[in-house]
Chains A and B, each alone.
Chain A
Amino acid sequence: MKIGETEVRYVAALANLALTDAEIARFQSELSGILEYFDKLNEIDTSGVEPMAQVLLAADPAATLREDVPAPSLGSEAALANAPQAGAGYFKVPKVIER
């Protein structure tokens, strides 16, 4: 599977990743090479095989449930300690509404 520049730019936009033109060019050839390798998956017959989304281990379906009792949480001061910009107990971000 070869992918072109338009497709690389489209995927970068989906991933919210700003890439330089040099990176776009490099990813075109690298991703094409890797995707070509992925095509190997088409060689193996998987008809009738259920997809394995998780390592399923035998357990009581309620095993992960617990009593719903309130417990102290992190608190906003600790939660905001790593914020690049915080104010009034919130995470601050650049203006969202664009014209």
Chain B
Amino acid sequence: MEIASLTIAAVRDTLLSRRASAVELATAFLDFAQAENPRTNAFLHFCAERALAAARRVDDAIARGEDPGPLAGVPIAVKDVILTAGVHTTCGSRLLERFVPPYDATAIARLETAGAVIIGKTNCDEFAMGSSNENSAFGPVRNPIAPDRVPGGSSGGSAAAVAQGTAVAALGSDTGGSIRQPASFCGVVGVTPTYGRVSRYGLTAFASSLDHIGPFARTVRDAATVLRVVAGRDPADATSAGAPVPDYPSLLDGRVKGLKLGLPREYLKDLTSETGDLIHRAAATLESLGCELREISLPATDYAIACYYVIATAEASSNLARYDGVRYSARSPHSETLADMYRNTRGEGFGAECKRRIMLGTYVLSHGYYDAYYLKAQRVRALIARDFAKAFEQVEAIVAPVSPFPAFKLGEKVDDPVAMYLSDVYTITGSLAGIPCMSVPCGTTAEGLPVGMQILTRHFDEATMFRLADAYETTQRR
């Protein structure tokens, strides 16, 4: 059996036809993922015991003739910012190297209730801050397609694992593009659902008004299946939404004829590269399926990066204040007083990018600058959200690039924070507006590097986004 290309449906078929047990499958994936890991450094830790226990529950359910759940026996990788009870959760940080969470994130509990087998925790930029995975305290992840290049970030390990085939699907987190950009760089599907669609209970907070959990998979249908399981209201997260969750996979009927799609002028005007050609070609394919394309304008786009980095760093400086040496495993041994313990624990524990963002966030919130930066950025955010609301009066979905360029070389942008921040230009706007957005592979450059097309829809309309992405994906498989 070729496990690296299995889909959720194939796993189910394998189990129900008794060609392999869930325990056999979990063992095969754990062996494969551990053998492959030196190539990419995608996983930080494996949880064999937990995986095999979950697999046994699936096998027992099948033996009893019960429905083993929509994700029965599906090996899943989880970004190491999402809490797993009894399994190390480091957030890619030295500070949490020894941290073992006492409870599961709601998304994790929902996955396992649905029969999923969590095999390990994936590498990421420290506290999900970065666009290349080079900010992990445990070494960068290498792109499985081109090992001298980054997998994107911050959910680089999850994207790489799914691309490599060491997991059938994965969970990541997205604050400004951390699911879509690595999905695009690694040639897999990555979904950032509507803000509030998936409970963040047990997701380590980075910027609370922007943080999302979302799935990675190799097909649109698989990503939709995972989202269906993890989405929905959770009493443990007051920001989780009560909107009903449709059965996404059953809505993938290929019916996209007459769908009105917007191409944002501001996203495409500077895009003359191969990425631009591939996005235009993908849009033409959608047109050939009967979609109506029209140019739209999102005039505040130019201000999105500045807006995002003010808001995200301000919220991060507050959220990361809890790592003070009192509760979360790490404490500097070189401190006589409480105040020194705080300062030294944080100074020794955080990596360069976290410190930079804590400094920026503290600065923009500090006395005398709050109005000029933070309040101003929140007003600009309202304009960006208004742009999308206006666009969605004319169109049902927006088609755009994910990143201005494909995966770049390791080390290429690491010394220039502004250049690194600018690479998030097309993903940040959707995050600020809180609308669903995803990356779906739309071809490769002459060098063989994957490029993703971004699809954005109205709040809570993941169904249209998936339907469109699935119809497009079908044309690419022919």
Binding site for B on A (CB under 8 A): 3, 7-8, 11-12, 14-20, 23, 27, 30-31, 33-35, 37-38, 40-44, 46, 49-55, 57, 59-60, 63-64, 66, 74, 78-79, 81-85, 91, 93-96, 98
Q: Closest chain A residue to B237 by CB distance?
A: A64
Q: Is the CB of A44 within 8 A of B362?
A: no
Q: Is the CB of B378 within 8 A of A14?
A: no
User: Among the listed A27, A35, A49, which residue makes an inter-chain contact with B382, where contact means beta carbons less than 8 Å apart?
Assistant: A49
In the complex the two chains form, what is the Cα distance from A38 to B347 in whole Å?
25
Q: Is the CB of B379 within 8 A of A52?
A: yes
In the complex the two chains form, what is the Cα distance from A94 to B343 in whole Å?
13
Would you give the shortest CB distance from B183 to chain A, in whole angstroms? 22
Given contacts A37-B418, A40-B306, contact A94 B327 (CB under 8 A): no
Would you give the shortest CB distance from B205 to chain A, in whole angstroms? 14
User: Among the listed B338, B347, B378, which residue makes an inter-chain contact with A94, where contact means beta carbons less than 8 Å apart?
Assistant: B338
Q: Is the CB of B338 within 8 A of A96?
A: yes
- Surface stretch bound by A, among B30-38, B71-79, B96-104, B282-290: B96-104
* 8 Å CB interface, B194-210 against A: 194-196, 209
Q: Is the CB of A41 within 8 A of B306?
A: yes
In the complex the two chains form, what is the Cα distance from A24 to B238 in whole Å?
39
Would you give the shortest CB distance from A90 to chain B, in whole angstroms? 10
Using Cβ atoms and an 8 Å threshold, which residues of chain A touch B102?
Answer: 74, 78-79, 81-82
| 15 A-B contact pairs sorted by A residue (CB < 8 Å) | A14-B366, A17-B346, A18-B340, A30-B356, A34-B417, A37-B421, A41-B307, A41-B377, A49-B382, A51-B379, A52-B378, A78-B103, A79-B102, A93-B325, A93-B326
In the complex the two chains form, what is the Cα distance from A28 to B328 in whole Å?
30
Q: Is the CB of B209 within 8 A of A98?
A: no
Would you give the shortest CB distance from B386 to chain A, in whole angstroms? 8
Q: Closest chain A residue to B326 by CB distance?
A: A91
Q: Is the CB of B360 within 8 A of A31?
A: yes
User: Among the listed A19, A41, A57, A74, which residue makes an inter-chain contact with B373, where contact means beta carbons less than 8 Å apart?
Assistant: A41
Main secondary structure of the interface of A (DSSP, over half): loop
Would you give the shortest CB distance from B130 to chain A, in whole angstroms? 15
Count of chain A to chain B residue pairs whose CB atoms are closer than 8 Å in the complex: 165
Would you give the shortest CB distance from B241 to chain A, in whole angstroms? 6
In the complex the two chains form, what is the Cα distance from A49 to B207 in whole Å?
22
Using Cβ atoms and an 8 Å threshold, which residues of chain B touch A31?
Answer: 356, 359-360, 363
Using Cβ atoms and an 8 Å threshold, which residues of chain B touch A66?
Answer: 235
Task: Name which of A8, A34, A81, A85 has the most chain B CB atoms within 10 A of its CB.
Answer: A34
Q: Is the CB of A15 within 8 A of B418?
A: no
| Ranked 9 nearest A-B pairs via Cβ | A18-B347, A55-B434, A51-B378, A84-B331, A46-B379, A52-B382, A78-B102, A18-B343, A55-B195
Using Cβ atoms and an 8 Å threshold, which residues of chain B touch A38?
Answer: 306, 309-310, 364, 373
Q: Is the CB of A17 within 8 A of B348?
A: no
B408 at interface (Cβ–Cβ under 8 A)? no
Q: Is the CB of B327 within 8 A of A14?
A: no
Q: Closest chain A residue to B376 by CB distance?
A: A41
B324 at interface (Cβ–Cβ under 8 A)? yes
Q: What interface size band does chain B fall in?
A: 35 or more
In the complex the two chains form, what is the Cα distance from A3 to B373 in whole Å?
15
In the complex the two chains form, what is the Cα distance from A20 to B242 in whole Å?
48
Q: Closest chain A residue to B363 by CB distance?
A: A11
User: Among the listed B309, B338, B421, which residue makes an inter-chain contact with A95, where contact means beta carbons less than 8 Å apart?
Assistant: B338
Q: Is the CB of B359 within 8 A of A57?
A: no
Q: Is the CB of B100 within 8 A of A82?
A: yes
Task: Name which of B103, B329, B341, B380 has the most chain A CB atoms within 10 A of its CB.
Answer: B380
Q: Closest chain B residue to A18 by CB distance?
A: B347
In the complex the two chains form, what is the Cα distance from A41 to B329 in whole Å?
39
Q: Closest chain B residue to A36 by CB distance?
A: B418
Q: Closest chain A residue to B317 by CB distance?
A: A15
Q: Is the CB of B300 within 8 A of A55?
A: no
In the complex the two chains form, what is the Cα distance from A38 to B360 in whole Å?
11
In the complex the two chains form, what is the Cα distance from A78 to B83 in whole Å?
14
B358 at interface (Cβ–Cβ under 8 A)? yes
Using Cβ atoms and an 8 Å threshold, which residues of chain A touch B317?
Answer: 15
Using Cβ atoms and an 8 Å threshold, which residues of chain A touch B381?
Answer: 51-52
Q: Is the CB of B375 within 8 A of A84?
A: no
Would you give the shortest CB distance from B362 to chain A, in whole angstroms? 4
Q: Closest chain A residue to B459 by CB distance?
A: A57
Q: Is the CB of A55 within 8 A of B377?
A: no
Q: Is the CB of B327 within 8 A of A91?
A: yes
B385 at interface (Cβ–Cβ under 8 A)? yes
User: Among the listed A20, A42, A63, A98, which residue makes an inter-chain contact with B337, where contact means beta carbons less than 8 Å apart?
Assistant: A98
Q: Is the CB of B309 within 8 A of A34?
A: yes
Given contacts A52-B379, A94-B336, contact A17 B358 (CB under 8 A): yes
CB-CB contacts of B364-376 with A at 8 A, as 1s and 0s?
1010000001011
